[in-house]
Amino acid sequence: MMSTALDDQPGVDSGSGGPRGRRWIWVVAALVVLALAAAAALLIVRPWAGNSPEDVENDPSLAGEDKARSAVTTRTGVFVGTEPQTAQAYQQWLGAKLDYIVDFSPRDSWQDIADPAQMLQAWQGTGLRPVYSVAMLPEADDSATIEQGATGAYDQYFTQLAQNLVAADQANAILRLGWEFNLDSSRWQSDDPEAWVTYWRRIVAAMDAVPGAQFEYDWNPNNGDNPYDAVEYWPGDDIVDYVGVDAYDVGYQRNTYPYPDDCDDACRLERQTNAWNKGIYGGSRGLHFWSRFAAHHGKPMSLPEWGLWVRDDGHGGGWNTYYLEQMAAFVKDPANGVAYQAYFEFDGDDGPHRLTNDNFPGVGDEYRRLFVRS
């Protein structure tokens, strides 16, 4: 109000030293504040901003020399549920031999974790190497904690699990121990990375001590920016065999998903490309980063879960051959060292992924063209 009154008065100096000049200084300052606030808002909405491949190379977690990594041959796997007949049908549809089978055992109780008898019996003798998702804590027992696990309180359950795996002729299983631990919804997430790492290492030690054990361990975060930075939970080069990443076709950055109602083919491709470049592959914790991280630690990569996705919240890409093409290129690039990949051929409560039904017409043919070894 005072500035307005002064402006209306004749004879007031309009130079920088007068009241009007001071008003413009305040206006400029206010505009600067607004600009900074807008930039901050963009960074919140667009967590990918400033995370180019060049920025990834400068990430502190990649400091130092890369360790040597042996050349790998990429194996093909799938998740179809605990259903050997479905796996056989998928293999026939694929027109090629499967190498690995991914599965999840029941995990409500310690008994479920220690003795997943149905799962072990289902895959015994199938000739498929199992990739088992192993829970670090029972989901129906809130009294069990990562901190207690770090003291050795639960070693017995993992010793029993190892004994059961060996007895079922699955001593060579790959174990996704505490998979997707960096999600806020994970039962075995912890605000204490040191305790988490100690517990992870105790589990491996307990299982490897069982006679006949030849297990390999897949350290398996979820792809992209998540509430917990997975690199803080690295258990150590001496105890990890694979750097696994679950990388579905999802996008939360601006101009990715959901698609607008009037989105035509060109619009869809633009948003699919953005989702890949800004989150799935690019971004601070996209596949480009994890490829570098794995190479830095001298480990092969794996993709234990990936796939197309139709989500209720709209943040899945749905029908998307561009994503398949990019995933195939990533898998085939020797620099990424992908030891195995497993499509998530399953339709659950969280939305469909399957290629062998009518979810994504024609996309199954594209998958086979891209991924079946000649």
Task: Report the pLDDT value the prediction gives residue 287, as an integer from 0 to 100.
Answer: 98
Domain positions in the chain are 1-35, 74-371
- The reply to whether CATH 1.10.10.10 applies to domain 74-371 is no
Closest alpha carbon to 113 in 148, 79, 144: 144
Cα separation, 23 vs 28, whole angstroms: 9
Query: Which residues of the chain, if any, have pLDDT below 70?
Result: 1-54, 373-374
In the block, which residue shows the tokens 């001590």?
209
In the block, which residue shows the tokens 């607008």?
260
Closest alpha carbon to 175 in 135, 217, 226: 217
- Residues whose CB falls within 8 Å of the CB of residue 62, separated by 6 or more in sequence, listed in order: 56, 292, 293, 296
C-alpha dihedral, 223 to 228 to 232 to 238, nearest 10°: -50
Task: Report the pLDDT value the prediction gives residue 43, as an integer from 0 to 100.
Answer: 36
In the block, which residue shows the tokens 């290129």?
329
**pLDDT tens-digit readout, 227-283:** 999 999 999 999 999 999 999 999 999 999 999 999 999 999 999 999 999 999 998
- Let me know: does 253 contact 48? Beta carbons within 8 Å: yes
Task: Report the pLDDT value the prediction gives residue 53, as an integer from 0 to 100.
Answer: 63
- Let me know: does 354 contact 94? Beta carbons within 8 Å: no
- Let me know: does 225 contact 284? Beta carbons within 8 Å: yes
Structure tokens at 136: 């670090």
Task: Report the pLDDT value the prediction gives residue 55, as an integer from 0 to 100.
Answer: 76
DSSP run (H or E) holding 100: strand 100-104
Task: Report the pLDDT value the prediction gives residue 52, as an integer from 0 to 100.
Answer: 62
Q: What does R_g of the chain's alpha carbons equal in angstroms? A: 26
In sequence order, what are the beta bridge partners of 129?
100
DSSP category for residue 66 = P
Task: Report the pLDDT value the prediction gives residue 58, as an integer from 0 to 100.
Answer: 82
Cα separation, 301 vs 230, whole angstroms: 15
Task: Report the pLDDT value the prediction gives residue 56, as an integer from 0 to 100.
Answer: 84
